[in-house]
Amino acid sequence: MNHSIVYRDYCDSDVDALVQMWKESRPGWPPGFFSASETTASSVAREEKSSGRLFSALAFSGDRVVGYCRTSPYGGEAEASYVDLINVVPDMHGAGIGKALLLDAVKRSVKFGMKRIDLHTWSANMKAVPLYKKTGFFWVPETMVYMQNYMPFLLGREEFLDFLSGEDWYKCFERALVVESDTEKTNSGREIFRYVFKRDADSFVAEFDRKGRCLSAMEYPGFSAGLSVESASEFFVGRSYSVSLSGSGFNPEKISVDCGKSLKCPGVSADAFAVEPLPVRIAKTPYEPADRLTVSLKEKGLEFGIGIVGVEEVALHSPVVRFLSPGVEKLRLGLKKLGDVSSVVISYALDEGEFYSGVVALNSDIYQSCTVELPPVEQGVHILSVRLGESGYLETVVLVAGVYSGRPLTVDTRKSAVIVGSDVALTVSRRGAAGRMWGRGPGDAPISLGRYFVSAGPPSPSRYTNLNWTMVK
């Protein structure tokens, strides 16, 4: 830490100095971050007041603010905090200010009862990734530089503090500071983040399950415990998987097992547990923690877990809207096969009528198709309900036969909401405000007419005079 720098919390009287810091720092931020508006005392004060922050820390060099870090609760996860903004003025880069602000955010998150602290950065800011990694952050793969840090959990554990015995964890932390996402996996293919600390000849290792966002193994002198699963590349709905607890330094008879809402545990023994994923209507996204199998070591006050996201071995892979000609009696459906199966039972019904079923033979391809026979489809909008396999979730496909002339009709499907009107349909994804407009293409195939985005607040006449303004071809 640079000892000529003074660190303290933001207060209202700092607003002018903070405005000056942002003006000095503006060239280092991506275009559009500050929008076209001028940074003023009133805008900064308003932002600080309305941010819902846990704390905002400032770094001072004399009367000048040279660094800033705001930490807030992380939406949707009660035990996680989030670095909203961190900034160091350009001429003070490399002085250790960013490191001090991040370490402070990690330390104080513990006092607020947090077990994790997250942040995002942008693709042009890769020079900051080594600093983030050295202060405990891991880059979640397949994300736009979304990073998670479990140091607040470790700093809240007595066994970790005992291991450090007064030493600085930052100096004991061993980490490869490569500028890429963190993709470590166990032998079974389970995705993890691993912390390793060395002190003299001893080591402390903590492993966190990436999907479950929870501790899955811990080892230090005199104690080791961890969960392992027979296979973790995919967890198929309806199948049972064996999870085992191994280690030493604890009583295996004093444990308890709990499952998340989309899981069930059909069998539990002293050190092994059977877990079965259940079908769910709305799948988890990479930005959400998966449901967990949790094993509690009561005498240690520790919980170990594995996040499990169940997927269907064979799932529907067709647009949720299909255009037909009246009288059609056959429909081709797309399938996605992930499991090692040679056939699947398909059950389907039109407009809550009688269910039909049959067996579809499958080959080794991931993407395949099948044809279902329907009663003659009359002009209008119809609902096709489809289930693949005994454990699959009931899917909904909206069929538009001919030109629909009634009032706009809304249908809720597993993947999106669908609004049908005339000869077009709008879909709005469950995973955000992105949507598409669909029309009837050659051979009645649905074609995308464009994309649109739904935003909160009243429409602005200058921006949203018509839908075409927001469509992206």
Which domain, by its residues, includes 392?
314-470
The answer to whether residue 439 is domain-embedded is yes
What is the count of structural domains for the chain?
3
Q: What is the pLDDT of residues 284-327, one digit of tens each?
A: 776 788 999 999 998 899 999 999 999 999 999 988 999 999 99
Q: Is the pLDDT of residue 470 over 60?
A: no
Poorest-pLDDT segment among 140-144, 182-186, 265-269, 362-366? 265-269
> Pick from 266, 288, 311: which residue ends a domain?
311
- The verdict on 244 and 204 lying in the same domain is yes
Q: Average pLDDT for residues 81-89, to the nearest whole number?
A: 95
Q: Are residues 292 and 351 in the same domain?
A: no
Identify whether residues 300 and 340 lie together within a single domain: no
> Would you state the pLDDT for residue 34?
66
The 3 state secondary structure assigned to the chain is CCCCCEEEECCHHHHHHHHHHHHHHHHHCCCCCCCCCCCCHHHHHHHHHHCCCCEEEEEEECCEEEEEEEEEECCCCCCEEEEEEEEECHHHCCCCHHHHHHHHHHHHHHHCCCCEEEEECCHHHHHHHHHHHHCCEEECCCCCCEEEECHHHHHCCHHHHHHHCCCCHHHHEECCCCCCCCCCECCCCCEEEEEEEEECCEEEEEEEECCCCEEEEEEECCEEEEEEECCCCCEECCCCEEEEEEEECCCCCCEEEEECCCEEEEEECCCEEEEEECCCCCCCCCCCCCEEEEEEECCCCEEEEEEECEECCEEECCCCEEEECCCCCEEEEEEEECCCCCEEEEEEEECCCCCEEEEEECCCCCEEEEEEECCCCCCEEEEEEEEECCCCCCEEEEEEECCEEEEEEEEECCCEEEEEEECEEEEEECCCCEEEEEEECHHHCEEEEEEEECCCCCCCCCCCCCHHHHCEC
Residues 285 and 434 reside in one and the same domain: no
Average pLDDT of the residues in 171-193: 94
450: domain CATH number is 2.60.40.2950
- The rounded mean pLDDT for the chain is 89
Is residue 222 in some structural domain?
A: yes
Domain of 11, CATH number, reads 3.40.630.30
- Please say which residue of 311, 336, 364 terminates a domain: 311
Residue 204 lies in a domain: yes
Does residue 85 form part of some domain? yes
Together in a domain, 351 and 303: no
Please check whether residues 345 and 426 belong to one and the same domain: yes
If asked whether residues 337 and 443 sit together in one domain, one would say: yes
How sure is the predictor about 270, in pLDDT bands with cuts at 50, 70 and 90?
low
Is 437 part of any domain? yes
From 250, 283, 311, give the residue that closes a domain: 311
pLDDT of 455 above 80 = no
Domain match, 131 and 205 both: no
Same-domain check for residues 391 and 267? no
Per-residue pLDDT tens digits for 350-408: 998 999 999 999 999 999 999 999 999 999 999 999 999 988 899 999 999 998 888 99
Residue 158 resides in a domain: no
Does residue 162 sit within a domain? Answer: no
Residue 103 in any domain: the answer is yes
Residues 303 and 319 in one domain: no
**24 plus 79 within the same structural domain:** yes
Task: Tell me the whole-structure pTM to 2 decimals.
Answer: 0.85
Return the pLDDT at 458.
Answer: 54
Residues 448 and 327 in one domain: yes
